[in-house]
A = this chain, B = another copy of it.
């Protein structure tokens, strides 16, 4: 028993640090952990392809994963660059439907693999977990609505400006940050060619941000916010949204 505990501990630790499982009891957590695995992946490994049936819920614990789409004709687009801790393409897993996007590591990653059958079984006896997943799906849905608004209403340079504003905010320094990905990958994520990405960086110098190599420096945050038409309510990224069930009915 003690040996078993020791073997499980990295997996239990990974589950414990996943907001999704905050509502899960210790027993249920150990039950999930006993069937789950924390795996290391090298850079550039394919985790699954669009069209594959999901077998696990993947939770990114460390590293970066890209989600991408491709047409039969060969065009490809990076739709998302995931950072920890994030469960990816949970929708496909929950409804046992083929993935709509492919997943690939862009750097070495630690990923928790939770067998789908085990997770879905847990939902049967754990309404709290179901509510947590519902809140998480709602947050992810709203993330995609923002993405569509970005694609429909912002120019490439405005999308880059918004990305850089968020990057510097996340970094916490409020003035400077490092690009977390190479420019080619970032251009693809933002729906731009490398050439239009370079042009956008030049254009943004007049709008309050200077990018040199991987260094991002905000020189006029107010100008940059105006340029990308930032809405303080609608453009703010949300985390850990919850379904708030009223205390009395």
Is A46 at the interface (CB under 8 A from chain B)? no
Could you say which interface size class chain A belongs to?
35 or more
- The reply to whether B95 and A242 form a contact with Cβ atoms under 8 Å apart is yes
Annotate A230-249 by CB proximity to B: 1 below 8 A, 0 otherwise.
01011000100111111011
Annotate A74-88 by CB proximity to B: 1 below 8 A, 0 otherwise.
011101000000000
Known A71-B153, A137-B141; contact A148-B231, beta-carbon cutoff 8 A:
no
* CB-contacts of A124-138 with B (<8 A): 124-125, 127, 130-131, 133-135, 137-138
Is A184 at the interface (CB under 8 A from chain B)? no
Give bound CA distance, A43 to B7, whole Å.
Answer: 63
Is A62 at the interface (CB under 8 A from chain B)? no
Q: 5 tightest A-B contacts by CB?
A: A121-B249, A91-B138, A144-B144, A77-B152, A95-B241
- The reply to whether A243 and B145 form a contact with Cβ atoms under 8 Å apart is no
- The reply to whether A142 and B243 form a contact with Cβ atoms under 8 Å apart is no
Shortest beta-carbon distance from A23 to chain B in Å: 12
- The reply to whether B97 and A244 form a contact with Cβ atoms under 8 Å apart is no
Known A120-B244, A149-B77, A152-B69; contact A139-B95, beta-carbon cutoff 8 A:
yes
Is A51 at the interface (CB under 8 A from chain B)? yes
Residues of B within 8 A of A100 (CB): 142, 145-146, 149, 234
Is A101 at the interface (CB under 8 A from chain B)? yes
Known A121-B246, A245-B121; contact A79-B149, beta-carbon cutoff 8 A:
yes
Partner of A77, one of B69, B127, B147, B153: B153
Partner of A249, one of B70, B79, B125, B145: B125
Known A152-B69, A229-B73; contact A96-B134, beta-carbon cutoff 8 A:
no
* CB-contacts of A92-120 with B (<8 A): 92, 94-98, 100-101, 117, 120
- The reply to whether A123 and B191 form a contact with Cβ atoms under 8 Å apart is no
Is A140 at the interface (CB under 8 A from chain B)? yes
